[in-house]
Amino acid sequence: MKITGIKSFTLFIIGFCFTLNTYSQEPDTLLASKLFELSLEDLMDVEIVSAVRQNQNIIDAPSIVSVITANQIKERGYISIDEALNSIAGLDFITDHSQPNMGIRGINGGVRSYSRLVKIMIDGQNISFRSNADNYLGLSLIPIEAIDKIEIIRGPNSALYGKNAFLGVINIITKKGSSLNANAVSHFLGNTNQNTSFGLSTIIGGAKKNFDFLFASTYAQFDYSNLKPQNIPGQSIYSSDDVSKKNESNPTSVYIKMNYETEDWGKFTFDMVNQNVNSHAEFADWGALTHNNRISLFNSFERLQYSKMLLEKLSADFTFAHSFGKPVNNEIFDDDTDPSEWIEREIKYNSYDVNGNFSYFFDDINIVSLGIDFTSDIHDHQKFYSMNTSGIRNLNPGGTDGEKYFTNFGVFLQMILNPAKFFDLSFLEDLTLTGGYRYDIHNIYGNVFTYRLAAVYHLNNELSTKLMYGTSFNAPSSTQLYTNYISPGGFVGNPDLKPEKAKTLEWAIIGKLSNNINFNTNLFYTEIEDKIEYLLPYGQVSNITAGNISNIYSGGIEAEINFSQKNKTCYLNYAYQKSILEKNDPILQKIKVNTALYPSHMIKFGNTLHFPDYYLNLNLEARYISSRIASDQNNFIYDPINYATNRYKLDPYFVIDLMISSTDLEIIKNSKSRIILKIENLLDYKYYYPGFNNYDIPSLRRSVYFQFKHYI
Partner 1 sequence: MSKLKRYKIFVFIIGFVVFMSSCEKLTEDFNKKQYKNPVKIAVVGDVSMLREQVENMFFGAQLAMEEINQKGGLVINGEKREIELIFKNSGGNPELGVDLIYELYEQNINLIIGPTFSSVAVEMAEECVKNNMLMMSYAATTPEITLLDDNDLIWRTCPSDYTFGTISAEYCVDTLQLNNAAILFRNDRFGTGLSTIIKDMFTELGGNVKANVSFPNEVNLNTYDFEYEMSTIFNSEIDVLFIVAFNSEIAVLTHRIFNNSKYQSLNKKPYIFVNDGILPEEILTNGNPELIDDILGISSTNEGNPNYALYKNNYKSRFGFLPATYSEHAYDAVYCLAYAMLKGNTTNPLQIKQYLREISGVDDYDPNNDVIKINVNEFDVGKNILLKGRSINYEGASGPINFDINGDPFPKIVIWSFENNQYIELTHFEK
The footprint of partner 1 (CB under 8 A) covers 335-338, 341, 386, 388, 390, 392, 394, 397-398, 457, 459-460, 463, 465, 467, 485, 487-489, 505, 507, 509, 513, 523, 525, 527, 536-543, 553-555, 578-580, 582, 584-594, 636-637, 640-642, 644-645
Query: Of 183 and 627, which CB lies nearer to partner 1 in the complex structure?
Result: 627
Least Å from the CB of residue 80 to partner 1: 34
Query: CB of 617 within 8 A of CB of 608?
Result: yes
Query: Of 304 and 523, which CB lies nearer to partner 1 in the complex structure?
Result: 523
Helix, strand, coil percent content, the chain, rounded in steps of 5: 10, 55, 35
Query: Of 80 and 522, which CB lies nearer to partner 1 in the complex structure?
Result: 522
DSSP sequence for 224-270: --S--PEEPTT---S-TT----S-EE--EEEEEEEEEEETTTEEEEE
Query: CB of 137 within 8 A of CB of 122?
Result: no
Query: CB of 557 within 8 A of CB of 578?
Result: no
Distance, CA of 584 to CA of 596 (rounded, Å) = 16
Least Å from the CB of residue 248 to partner 1: 23
Which sign, positive or negative, has the C-alpha torsion 666, 667, 671, 676?
negative
Least Å from the CB of residue 522 to partner 1: 10
Least Å from the CB of residue 521 to partner 1: 12
| φ, ψ of residue 22 in degrees (nearest 5) | -65, -45
Query: Of 452 and 678, which CB lies nearer to partner 1 in the complex structure?
Result: 452
Q: Where are the beta strands (DSSP E) in 490-598?
A: 491-492, 500-514, 517-535, 544-565, 568-585, 589-594
Least Å from the CB of residue 639 to partner 1: 8
Query: CB of 154 within 8 A of CB of 104?
Result: yes
Query: Of 18 and 538, which CB lies nearer to partner 1 in the complex structure?
Result: 538
Please state whether beta strands 544-565 and 491-492 pair in parallel, antiparallel, or not at all (unpaired).
parallel
Q: Which of 44, 136, 161, 126 is nearest to 81 (CA)?
A: 136
| Residue 115: DSSP 8-state | S
Query: CB of 502 within 8 A of CB of 473?
Result: yes
Least Å from the CB of residue 379 to partner 1: 23
Q: Which of 550, 567, 534, 584 is nearest to 692 (CA)?
A: 534
Query: Of 21 and 337, which CB lies nearer to partner 1 in the complex structure?
Result: 337
Contacts 24+ apart (CB under 8 A), 19-22: 20/568, 20/570, 20/607, 20/609
Least Å from the CB of residue 398 to partner 1: 6
Distance, CA of 208 to CA of 261 (rounded, Å) = 11
| Residue 426: DSSP 8-state | G
Distance, CA of 399 to CA of 495 (rounded, Å) = 8
Query: Of 222 and 485, which CB lies nearer to partner 1 in the complex structure?
Result: 485
Query: Of 329 and 390, which CB lies nearer to partner 1 in the complex structure?
Result: 390
Least Å from the CB of residue 64 to partner 1: 13
Query: Of 30 and 541, which CB lies nearer to partner 1 in the complex structure?
Result: 541
Least Å from the CB of residue 582 to partner 1: 8
Least Å from the CB of residue 599 to partner 1: 16
CA dihedral of 421, 424, 427, 429, whole degrees rounded to 10: 0
Distance, CA of 175 to CA of 198 (rounded, Å) = 25
Distance, CA of 695 to CA of 689 (rounded, Å) = 10
Query: Of 105 and 119, which CB lies nearer to partner 1 in the complex structure?
Result: 105
Query: Of 362 and 507, which CB lies nearer to partner 1 in the complex structure?
Result: 507
| φ, ψ of residue 420 in degrees (nearest 5) | -60, -45
Query: Of 15 and 397, which CB lies nearer to partner 1 in the complex structure?
Result: 397
Q: What angle do CA 548, 550, 552 make, to 5 degrees?
A: 125
CA dihedral of 640, 645, 650, 652, whole degrees rounded to 10: -170
Amino acid at 94: I
Least Å from the CB of residue 293 to partner 1: 14
Least Å from the CB of residue 592 to partner 1: 4
Query: Of 27 and 640, which CB lies nearer to partner 1 in the complex structure?
Result: 640
Least Å from the CB of residue 593 to partner 1: 6
Least Å from the CB of residue 473 to partner 1: 20
Least Å from the CB of residue 547 to partner 1: 11
Query: Of 134 and 500, which CB lies nearer to partner 1 in the complex structure?
Result: 500
CA–CA distance from 672 to each of 77, 616, 655, 663, 709 (Å)? 17, 14, 32, 9, 9
Query: Of 5 and 339, which CB lies nearer to partner 1 in the complex structure?
Result: 339
